[in-house]
Chains A and B, each alone.
Chain A
Amino acid sequence: MLLSDKKITIILNRLCYQLIERHGDFSNAVLVGLQPRGTLLLDRLVSLLVKSGIDSPKIGKLDTTFFRDDFRRSERPLNANATVMDQSVEGKDVVLIDDVLFTGRSIRSALTAIDTYGRPKSIELLVLIDRRFSRHLPIQPDYLGAQIDALQGDKVKVVWSENDTENTVYLEKHLE
């Protein structure tokens, strides 16, 4: 286990305050969770923001499947998830939200995908976990939960429990 529930709660609160520090009343901000797993983190952050007095921040859920660069290159077919974007991001300050930042390729596809909803004023990246030294592209987070070191074949999993009392992040070692 890399992060316990207690640690995750502290991190989420910190990320929430960092967002408020930067975006104030969120009038120009749009929080965009990346499908499938970033949206779970988005939901948690939104409920914390609401508790901190931010009245219904604008959110979206973005699926980047059709923008990925591994179409026909991946062993598995790429199946999409739903995208829910009810507003244009033209001129907005967008925060992309995902659980784990690994190679950076998903974020690159998200940067292309978000453009189909308009030209944002700025785009930032928030991740819960940053897997250090594993980037294929020059992409770094603006808001960061925790940094970890993991080997290439390892899997980092963020598990959100239903009642939010046993959230954990753990490392699955790759066995040869």
Chain B
Amino acid sequence: MKALSVSHLLGIKYLQEEDLHLIFETAKHFKEVINRPIKKVPSLRDITIANLFFENSTRTKLSFELAEKRLSADVLNFSANQSSVKKGETLVDTVNNILAMKVDMVVIRHPHPGAAHFLSKRVDSCIINAGDGTHEHPSQALLDAFSLQEKFGDLAGKRVAIVGDILHSRVALSNIYALKMLNAEVQVCAPKSLLPKHIESLGVTVSTDFSHTLKWCDAVNMLRVQNERMDLNYFPSTREYSQNFGLTRDRLKPLRKEIVILHPGPINRGVEISSEVADSEQAIILDQVENGVAIRMAIIYLLASKLNIPIA
């Protein structure tokens, strides 16, 4: 019988390889559950979970909410733009107020890196990081790796490229940690201005030549250009970016292999990926979304089983 080595999910960095395998194994069972006529299990019926979103999100928020409901947990939703945060309340106060309503777990998305970590040290609750600024997005990386594993089986030795706005991407960092932990080879590919300094210290190779990267990889994860996090111009124009780093049919044609295409969403069609490619058989973008619910059910289920709260 196995349990997670952690009691919060703050980032992939804090997990062990066995944790990843346990989460994937559990997610596989939940994926079967969410394909039944009745897609719900009663495990967490005495647990209440608050989703605190201090930053916009559609898919992650829906995915977490659905995962919680499929597990029969009670769910509270909170969005910063309709709250007292605007009135000057601190993060810890906001969360403690919510916890005072007898909430057992907190899913948090926050624009500041380290927000989830900060909370886990200051409040007495189980914290799940749903994205903290440009730092980590562990549930996304887990569902990406899980989706790849479904395609490839073992990821050891598989070559995965992460392409696009590496500098502002929490998805990139979490993915690098997760893929390296599973012994995959990782290459990041972007214009120089969107590559963080010293990124190779994470054990990845770096490329600025997209064609070269495509020849090298078995799977490619296309990241969105995060205009909302850009304080200056990192490339001359969207058109130029798209010509050099956009994934199109014409780029895939000369490759004598079929690579697997991932995208964490939301997609900017015609920028980092063409419509034709995004809707092709090679793209597993919608599988990722389905797996997202199963992975989040697994994360919540496994963390909830470690909750130290009194039983009625």
Contact = CB atoms under 8 A, between A and B. Distances in A.
Interface in B287-312: 301-302, 304-307, 311
Given A71-B43, A72-B311, A77-B3, A117 B37 contact: yes
Interface stretch (B25-33, B151-159, B175-183, B221-229): B25-33
Given A66-B33, A66-B43, A116-B33, A80 B38 contact: no
A140 to B, nearest CB: 24
A72 B307 contact: yes
Interface in A64-80: 65-68, 71-73, 76-80
B41 interface: yes
Interface in B41-79: 41-44
Chain A contact residues, majority secondary structure = loop
Contacts of B22: 79
Contacts of A63: 29
Contact of B37 (A80, A82, A116): A116
A88 interface: yes
Interface in B143-193: none
A19 to B, nearest CB: 26
Contacts of A78: 1, 305
A43 interface: no
Contacts of B301: 66
A42 B36 CA distance: 22
A66 B41 contact: yes
Nearest to A85: B36
Contact of B38 (A71, A76, A81, A116): A116
A68 to B, nearest CB: 8
Interface residues of A, number: 23
Interface string A6-44: 000000000000000000000000000000000000000
A79 B26 contact: yes
A73 B42 CA distance: 14
A82 B305 contact: no
B26 A88 contact: no
Contacts of A116: 33, 36-41
A80 B29 contact: yes
A65 B32 CA distance: 13
Interface residues of B, number: 27
Nearest to A68: B43
Contacts of B253: none
B2 interface: yes
Contact of A88 (B30, B33, B37): B37
Contacts of B3: 77
Contacts of B2: 77, 79
Interface in B10-37: 22, 25-26, 28-30, 32-33, 36-37
A112 interface: yes
Closest 10 CB pairs of A and B: A66-B41, A116-B38, A80-B29, A77-B3, A76-B1, A116-B36, A71-B43, A77-B305, A66-B43, A83-B32
Interface of A: 63, 65-68, 71-73, 76-83, 85, 88, 112, 115-118
Interface of B: 1-3, 22, 25-26, 28-30, 32-33, 36-44, 301-302, 304-307, 311
28 contacts: A66-B29, A66-B30, A66-B33, A66-B42, A66-B301, A67-B41, A67-B42, A67-B43, A71-B44, A71-B305, A72-B304, A72-B307, A73-B311, A77-B3, A78-B1, A79-B25, A80-B25, A80-B29, A82-B28, A82-B32, A83-B29, A83-B33, A88-B37, A112-B42, A116-B33, A116-B36, A116-B37, A117-B37
